Chain A
Amino acid sequence: MSKFIWMHGALALAMSFPAWAATDADLAEIREQIRQLKESYEARIQALEQKLKDAETAKSAPAAAAPASPVAAALPATSSASGIAAFNPAISAVLQGRYANLSQDPSKFAIGGFAPGGDIGPGRRGFSLSESELAISANVDHLFAGNLIVALTPENTVSVEEAYGIYTAAPYGLVPKFGRFFSGLGYMNEQHQHAWDFIDAPLAYQAFLGGQYANDGLQVKWVAPTDQFLELGAEVGNGDNFPGSMRNKNGAGSGVIYAHTGGDIGASHSWRAGVSYLQTRAEDREYSQLDLTGNNAQVAFNGTSHVAIADFVWKYAPNGNPLYTNFKLQGEYFWRRESGDFTYDVDGALHLTNTSAYTSRQSGWYLQGVYQFMPYWRVGARYDRLDPGHVDYGTNAAYLDAPAFHPERSTLMVDYTPSEFSRIRLQYGQSKTQAGMTDNQLFLQYILTLGAHGAHKF
């Protein structure tokens, strides 16, 4: 702008020049003005040249300019609550591995008198990786929360353990949940395996639910508006999993209802108790069973399965502080009634194929206690027992013997938990799941949790 004024002034000067009758004094004045103009421009050009030089120097040395921003460098790494990363869900991984010493061949594992199904047995001998778990969870928006838990098996397969949404804005104490989830029945069923107090599931869970009962479907829980905790839950699902089986049909394949209540007694005791009921259907639930003549016959069950569970847990922590010492006692009782058709020699290998009416009433329970006697160290004991109950094979009684053996197992464990993210466990079990066979089981296990892992349920 000032440059324009100067030029303008110079032009005006030049143009007005011839119109004057020039005197010596005038000429001197004009010369003086031109000199001033020249000096002024020289100074300005010099200033511009200096600016250009400075800019070039700065450009050639960008590294030297970097430390000139101490503000950015001093900011703590955690203050970045903005940007895309802030919306990352909580991600965690659970790493598990073990060493197993089993006196009986695990491939011959069976629970005498109980139909096998799901993921049961003590697993392989020697060193092996257990399931690695990957969990991702976050609030979806103001209405939903989501959770995905993927299990990477040591056989290099991937399975979706849980993948569900929760509607968090429901009124009247309702908590709807949908997708694939571990059913809310019983006490231990909803817990992931790495949160268990022993390396393996109780025999009752293995015999009646195939380890752990999951469903693809819908769950609605209702929490009563009372200070005393009371929740009622109902679930419908496809019923693909043991004791049911996959069926090609519309509608719900299984239903679960349950009620839980619990509370505190003083500052040191808390408890929860519940009852649950599962109804599902099995279609051609096929497995092999030893018949009266010692043949391994293929048999199949078609019918309905009803499972009822009563559960309780009691936790003691002096003054509510579990850090130094605490004690946990839990137990669950299972009943199962199955009725329908039972086919012996279903593949005809023995040329004796026969279908008959079938009913069974069986039960089982476990009781376990875990005591933390000093910071980081816990010991635990568990006893499992199953009752073969009453099995009516109908006309198949000609080929199959109703079971009379009571499977049982006694287990001891000690674990070391240096932080809430790591645990090392040693477990010894004496398992008598088949008549005349005792499996002495020794396990050494590690559980490591990385990342932002959600809190565990009570």
Chain B
Amino acid sequence: MKSHSQWLLVTLVVAWVGPAAAALNVFATVPEWGALTGELGGDKVKVYTATNPLQDPHHVEAKPSLIGRARGADLVVATGAELEIGWLPLVTQQAGNPKVQAGKPGYFEAASFVPILDKPSRLDRSEGDVHAAGDPHIQTDPRNIARVAGPLSARLAELDPENAAYYQTRYKAFAERWNAAIARWEKEGAPLRGVPILVQHKGFTYLIAWLGMKEVAALEPKPGVEPTTAHLSEVLATVQRQPVKMVLRAAYQSDRASQWIAERAKINAVVLPFTVGGDDAAKDLFGLFDDTIERLRKGLQ
């Protein structure tokens, strides 16, 4: 009887401690960082992604499931720049996990390694749901992924020094493949340079800057405010003076406003995956940009 209970205790302890020691538990706020951590960490990391690719990253709730997952995380990989301000601070505060509090090595913000665009010169909520720290949708430019990969790899090595060499090797291999891919995408995306477009939500600033497209107008009257008929009519009038090639929206957004303007202005409505898993082709980070470029090129026709 005694030996039974001892065995039970040992089993319990092993069950408790075992999985945590096997791999670094990573809590990624959005799919792109989940995918990047997977590329860099291989089988040494266990990645949980808090949001799905068809979820609007601006409207996430501090759900119990997220608190449960943050409790066991060794590392939280967030975008930062206030993208997760509506839920992540609450989740980390409720999770009882001192490792992943802001400022600790277990808390990583991608946006701090990237030059942030569109910092508002005027902070006022009458301007809509503006991001005070600038546009947080940095993942739409692959060069930003490259900028984040280095520090993220270093962070994995810092938290798991035993496997530092492994992370380093994986990072080098990834960076090489990624830089080659960027060169390819830039070549494929060359015809997009200077092309005037519309966006539904101002969520493609980095993509547009990278490919040199020209954002003529947004369908949302203010960031985060649903398109109104009055504003759409204004955009239509603008487009008639200043023709555009296509209107872009992210996969998580409703297609109504894009379709409305596309029909009337006789332009292409292009849905972009926006993040890893946003459509069937965007299975990983490479697929995300392969598909994005391909869809944009189709939009030109």
Interface of A toward B, CB cutoff 8 Å:
76-79, 139, 142, 145, 166, 168-175, 221-231, 260-264, 267, 270-272, 315, 319-324, 375-376, 419-421, 454-458
Contacts and interface: CB of A to CB of B under 8 A. Distances in A.
A173 B64 contact: no
Interface string B63-94: 11101110110000000000001110110011
B103 to A, nearest CB: 7
Given A78-B123, A175-B96, A262-B63, 11 more contacts: A78-B120, A170-B96, A173-B96, A223-B71, A223-B96, A228-B68, A229-B65, A263-B64, A267-B54, A267-B55, A419-B128
B52 A260 contact: no
Contacts of A226: 68, 71-72
25 contacts: A77-B123, A78-B119, A79-B119, A139-B102, A168-B98, A173-B96, A222-B96, A223-B67, A224-B68, A226-B71, A227-B68, A227-B72, A229-B71, A261-B64, A262-B63, A262-B64, A264-B63, A267-B52, A270-B61, A319-B54, A319-B252, A320-B60, A323-B59, A376-B226, A421-B125
Nearest to B101: A168
Nearest to B256: A324
Contacts of A173: 71, 95-97
Contacts of A223: 67-68, 71, 94-97
Contacts, number: 131
Contacts of A421: 125
A335 B12 CA distance: 36
B96 A221 contact: yes
Given A260-B64, A262-B65, A455 B89 contact: yes
Contacts of A264: 63, 65
A419 B129 contact: yes
**Which interface residue of A79, A168, A263, A455 has the most chain B CB atoms within 10 A?**
A455
Contacts of B55: 267, 319-321
A8 to B, nearest CB: 58
Instruction: Determine chain B's interface SS by DSSP, over half rule.
Output: loop
Contacts of B61: 270, 315, 322, 458
**Which interface residue of B67, B85, B96 has the most chain A CB atoms within 10 A?**
B96
B12 to A, nearest CB: 12
B62 to A, nearest CB: 5
A376 B224 CA distance: 12
Contact of B225 (A76, A222, A270, A419): A419
Interface in B115-129: 119-123, 125, 128-129
CB-based closest 8 A-B pairs: A262-B64, A229-B68, A229-B64, A173-B96, A223-B96, A320-B55, A264-B65, A175-B96
B41 to A, nearest CB: 19
B119 A320 contact: no
Nearest to B123: A78
B161 to A, nearest CB: 21
Contacts of A174: 96
Nearest to B17: A225
B54 A77 contact: no
B16 A169 contact: no
A370 to B, nearest CB: 14
Interface string B126-162: 0011001100000000000000000000000000000
Nearest to B91: A455
Nearest to B53: A319
A224 B71 contact: yes
Contacts of B133: 78
B233 interface: no
Contact of B59 (A225, A227, A322, A454): A322
Nearest to B254: A324
A76 B121 contact: yes
Interface of B: 16, 20, 51-52, 54-56, 59-65, 67-69, 71-72, 85-87, 89-90, 93-98, 101-103, 119-123, 125, 128-129, 132-133, 224-226, 252, 254
Contacts of A455: 62, 85-87, 89-90
Nearest to A74: B121
A320 B68 contact: no
B226 A375 contact: yes
Contacts of B69: 227
Contacts of B125: 419, 421
A420 B129 CA distance: 9
A267 B53 CA distance: 11
B96 A321 contact: no
Given A264-B63, A319-B54, A225 B87 contact: no
A139 B85 CA distance: 15
A320 B53 CA distance: 10
A360 B102 CA distance: 49
Contacts of B62: 455-458
Contact of A168 (B90, B93, B119, B122): B93
Contact of A142 (B56, B103, B120, B225): B103
A320 B65 contact: no
B59 A171 contact: no
Contacts of B51: 320
A77 B65 contact: no
A420 B56 CA distance: 15
**Which interface residue of A231, A321, A419 has the most chain B CB atoms within 10 A?**
A321
A267 B90 CA distance: 21
A454 to B, nearest CB: 7
A324 B20 CA distance: 39
B103 A272 contact: no
A340 B49 CA distance: 53
Contacts of B60: 320
A171 B98 contact: yes
A272 B62 CA distance: 12
Contacts of B16: 225
Contact of B252 (A142, A169, A321): A321
A359 to B, nearest CB: 37
Contacts of A145: 93
Contacts of A457: 62, 90, 94
B137 to A, nearest CB: 16
A225 B72 contact: yes
B208 to A, nearest CB: 20
Contacts of B95: 173, 223
A454 B93 CA distance: 12
Contacts of B101: 168-169
Contacts of B129: 419-420
Contacts of A229: 64-65, 67-68, 71
A264 to B, nearest CB: 4
A320 B123 CA distance: 29
Contacts of B72: 225-227
B206 to A, nearest CB: 18
A323 B56 contact: yes
B232 to A, nearest CB: 15
